[in-house]
Structure 1
Amino acid sequence: MSEKASYSINKEEALKEACRECDIKSLINLANSDGGLLSDDIRATAWPLLLGCHDQDTQPVVDQRWTDLPVHSDEEQVQKDVDRAFVYYPSNETQSSLENNRVALLNIIVKVLRLNPMLHYFQGYHDIAQVFLLVLGEEAAFSAVSRMSLLRIRDYMLSSLSPATKHLQLIPAILRCADAELADHLSSTPPYFALSAVLTLYAHDVQKYSDIARLYDFILAHEPVYAIYLFAALIISRRPELIEIAAEDHDMLLFTLSKLPQPLDLQTLIDKCLAMVKDYPPECLPGQAWRNISSYSVLKTSRENLREQSLVEGRALFNKHSQQLAREEMTAKVVKHMRKNRRPIILSGATLLVGILSYYLRRNGTDRILWSALWRIAEVFGNR
């Protein structure tokens, strides 16, 4: 027996034992190692454990069938995306099997959305859901996708992609720590090239089923911020290619960075990701990138006890984050309006201030002395 075959047999036994004992620590270590969780048979047991799935997760939150709940506003887009699902895998699927998978995928997504109507569907969400369907089957996939939605990717299901763009800003900060020269080279290229991969946890961009399944072994074993570090590891793995492109050639850099390299050396990327999280934890990243992440974000609320969190907690955090986002958006609108109408607002404010001061000074008999000086100050501010 070859050394590789012997390793696989021993690892398979270790995985089965960890699943039987619900030994999360051992499962994480095994998911990090070469080959990940090895097979879908093992994943069918291990993934729910890594996600912290509970029996109550499958129970509706209302006393009626989910099919009787109000239609979610995003269901039309869901249908369009599901019609385009299963492009790369599974291969050699019959038309009947393909249609059955699409029906099951639609049911999973619509059920999650109807039971959680505050969530906003995003294009690519179906890519994540289809991976769980293929590995776990429809019923278990619903529980897994529910926990993913509320506890791991809920930032991407808010009314705005603003939180997602803040996630992306961590990438330059990670690069600054791990490879300052490469960070300088890419400093004029905003990290929006990573949006598709990060938003869909790579499911939209990875075309090989064995790769995405193995990648999800790793992603599910860790908190959500690891997926961000993983993209930074991808960038560093392409260092020679990127350095050859002129820093001023933004279009070429964006094109190169937005396409994942083929084939993917997953184990090398995973090892690099683990090392960077250890050496440069998010709390220690330079600049304001981590501070700008909301305290209600999955990146921060998952730092501890992720698997013990309930869907109820996830919904509460979503609502708090949503309210915070609404306040930020309102503040931004007010600031934009004030900047646009800066002179009239300043003149009005200055006039009001002068009026109040004038009344006060008149009462004290000193208005004639200071009136001229105050009016000059108001004119100066109004001309800015």
Structure 2
Amino acid sequence: MNLKKSRSVGASSPLNGIGKQDVESRKKRKMAEITQALSATPVDVATLRRMAISEGGLLTDDIRCKVWPRILNVPIDSIPEELDKVQRENHKDYHQVLLDVQRSLRRFPPGMPDEQREGLQEELIDIILRVLQKNPQLHYYQGYHDIVVTFLLVLGERLATALVEKLSTHHLRDFMDPTMDNTNHILNYLMPIIEQVNPEVYDFMQQAHVGTIFALSWLITWFGHVLSDFRHVVRLYDFFLACHPLMPIYFAAVIVLHREEEVLECECDMPSLHHLLSQIPQDLPYETLISRAGDLFVQFPPSELVKKVAQQHSQETAASTFKDFELASAQQRPDTVFRRRRKEQQQQQQQVPAEARSSSLSVVQPTARRFVRLAVMGLTVALGAAALAVVNSALEWAPKLDLLFP
């Protein structure tokens, strides 16, 4: 049973602000580029990734059915017509999967007939158990079904099974360990990103001892569990599939940074701030945030962030094995500028009498914070090559997947 309803850019898209004719013209040009990339020999995966990242994403589910397998290097022709039979009752995770799927009613389109939804839920259970049965090194986690159901609704059971298996052994691999050590390690990248961009928000969150657990469901479900509009979910999946596997943590960071005023106006204690951050707004400017996440990935690649992560693991995570990319712009990163500026300030302070130094400290810190924030804002506008760098990063990692089709 396949839910085959094409979803195009909806009313909430920023494309509506530029006129209906312009929107249609852009969509036609993008569709033509996608068609050309799919028809190339070999398939032009870099262009497909760029289309998935760029404004509006892949536009419809029909296009996603053609592009998502190419991005994940799943040869459609090699997928068997008959899927493996699932031994449900004998699987150790069956009862937990069943409970989670039964609670997933909100993940299905409103108004869907009960019979159709129940059929899809049965397929969802089979996909999950089939992947786990074939890959015993993978461990089910609550939230995994939120990712799988998105693929099921877009692709149907046969295609979804193949793509979910590839995704589970690569992008999601760290979440499927027997412990949460690697998941926590990835969550620890969140605060260094926030610190680099907005030290004031970072300091406030540190003082509140809020931690990063508020973003756990965002990360392990690719936001599928917390967003109510399916159009926004698949738009993010376009973006994440086309990018480095750590991109969801960058997107989590830009959501927090986007809510700067709310954060700083909140009570500075863990329960209040955790509650605020856990309630993710549904009216986010998704295209703007996607662009910012890509820019931050360019400015602060994982190789830079890992130096700031306190928790280290002896076991190398899957995310840490992905090769970092070269910056696609000659612009200086704001962290480099900030460090140089801070060094100059320290040198100046050494020349200032001690009694004057303490009185000027309160002025220096806000000035430095404003400086780094303005630097980041300036680069967000200036880094027109950020999307290209993100694509190149994904392609640098992609040879591990034998990216090009024969």
TM-score category (smaller protein):
0.7 to 0.9
Aligned to 1:31: 52
Cα gap change, 1:71 to 1:20, in 2 (>3 Å): farther
Aligned to 1:378: none
Separation in structure 1 between the aligned mates of residue 310 and residue 46 of structure 2, nearest angstrom? 27
Q: TM-score, normalised by structure 2?
A: 0.71
Counterpart among 217, 240, 244 of residue 223 in structure 1: 244
Q: How does 1:276-315 map to 2 (within 5 A)?
A: 276-285=296-305, 287-289=307-309, 292=312, 296-303=316-323, 305-309=396-400
Q: TM-score, normalised by structure 1?
A: 0.75
- Name the SS of the counterpart of 2:106 in structure 1: coil
Separation in structure 2 between the aligned mates of residue 73 and residue 149 of structure 1, nearest angstrom? 18
Whether the aligned pair in 2 keeps the contact of 1:89 and 1:208 (CA below 8 Å) is: no
Aligned residues: 307
- Name the SS of the counterpart of 1:268 in structure 2: helix
Aligned to 1:114: 133
Counterpart among 126, 150, 165 of residue 145 in structure 2: 126
Whether the aligned pair in 1 keeps the contact of 2:189 and 2:306 (CA below 8 Å) is: no
Cα gap change, 1:194 to 1:69, in 2 (>3 Å): closer
Cα gap change, 1:267 to 1:295, in 2 (>3 Å): farther
Cα gap change, 1:68 to 1:192, in 2 (>3 Å): closer
Counterpart among 260, 266, 283 of residue 239 in structure 1: 260
The code of the aligned residue for 1:122 comes to Y
Whether the aligned pair in 2 keeps the contact of 1:119 and 1:158 (CA below 8 Å) is: yes
Q: Between Structure 1 and Structure 2, which shows a larger proportion of helix residues?
A: 1
Deviation at 1:135, TM superposition (A): 0.8
Task: Give structure 1 stretches of 5+ with no counterpart.
Answer: 312-384
Deviation at 1:170, TM superposition (A): 0.6
Cα gap change, 1:85 to 1:19, in 2 (>3 Å): farther
Deviation at 1:281, TM superposition (A): 0.8
Deviation at 1:176, TM superposition (A): 1.1
Higher-Rg member (1/2)? 1
Task: Give structure 2 stretches of 5+ with no counterpart.
Answer: 1-19, 324-394
Q: How does 1:1-384 map to 2 (within 5 A)?
A: 2-21=21-40, 22-54=43-75, 58=79, 65-67=84-86, 71-187=90-206, 188-247=209-268, 249-285=269-305, 287-289=307-309, 292=312, 296-303=316-323, 305-309=396-400
Whether the aligned pair in 1 keeps the contact of 2:55 and 2:287 (CA below 8 Å) is: yes
Deviation at 1:91, TM superposition (A): 2.4
Cα gap change, 1:57 to 1:170, in 2 (>3 Å): farther
CA root-mean-square deviation = 2.4
Whether the aligned pair in 1 keeps the contact of 2:88 and 2:129 (CA below 8 Å) is: no
Q: Which moved more, 1:281-290 or 1:39-48?
A: 281-290
Separation in structure 2 between the aligned mates of residue 172 and residue 113 of structure 1, nearest angstrom? 32
- Name the SS of the counterpart of 2:170 in structure 1: helix
Separation in structure 2 between the aligned mates of residue 66 and residue 294 of structure 1, nearest angstrom? 38
Runs of 4 or more off by more than 6 Å in structure 1? none
Separation in structure 2 between the aligned mates of residue 305 and residue 114 of structure 1, nearest angstrom? 30
Cα gap change, 1:271 to 1:8, in 2 (>3 Å): same
Separation in structure 2 between the aligned mates of residue 65 and residue 7 of structure 1, nearest angstrom? 42
Separation in structure 2 between the aligned mates of residue 301 and residue 294 of structure 1, nearest angstrom? 13
